[in-house]
């Protein structure tokens, strides 16, 4: 028996379900809001700079860490460490972050960047 004739309905069903799921995911991701985001930059657990990420403008900050200077940059509502003298460069490899559940940590320089605020409105409200 021909493969296409045998599985035609199954292929159509799976393709339809994948299309509907893709559209649903696109709608959910496309409607998330970023509201009142601020990034708190700390050195040795002391806040040295508070950055408003909601204005979406580009800014450069040079943070004196424990063992060197970090070049921190904001772009389009996100924050990143562009340069650091730390040996592993994990903080630089994090790239731009705009979510409260993804802090940027440079242990070598004792610098942390934590995003606070309403963040991305992707929580489900019940009631």
* pLDDT tens per residue, range 104-117: 999 999 999 999 87
Is residue 75 in some structural domain? yes
**Among residues 92, 86, 61, which one has the least CA distance to residue 74?**
61
- As for how many domains the chain has, the answer is 2
| pLDDT at 47 (0 to 100) | 92
**pLDDT computed for residue 111 by the predictor:** 92
125 within some domain: no
Q: In this structure, is residue 5 part of a structural domain?
A: yes
> What is the arithmetic mean of pLDDT over 52-76?
89
Q: Is residue 33 over pLDDT 70?
A: no
Based on the domain organization, do 42 and 9 belong to the same domain? no
Domain that holds residue 28: 1-32
Q: What is the mean pLDDT of residues 29-54?
A: 83
Q: Are residues 49 and 3 in the same domain?
A: no
One domain, residues 112 and 69? yes
Same domain (yes/no): 76, 38: yes
- Residue closest to 114 by CA, chosen among 36, 42, 40, 61: 40
């Amino acid at each position: 028996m021909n493969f296409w004739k045998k599985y035609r309905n199954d292929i159509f069903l799976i393709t339809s379900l994948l299309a509907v799921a893709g559209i649903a995911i696109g709608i959910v991701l496309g409607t998330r809001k970023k509201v009142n985001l601020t990034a708190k930059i700390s050195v040795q657990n002391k806040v040295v700079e508070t950055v408003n990420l909601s204005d979406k403008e580009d800014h450069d900050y040079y943070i004196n860490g424990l063992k060197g200077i970090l070049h921190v940059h904001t772009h389009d509502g996100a924050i990143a460490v562009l340069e650091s003298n730390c040996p592993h460069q994990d903080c630089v490899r994090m790239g731009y972050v705009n979510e409260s559940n993804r802090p940027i940590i440079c242990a070598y320089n004792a610098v942390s960047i934590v995003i606070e605020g309403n963040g991305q409105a992707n929580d489900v409200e019940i009631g």
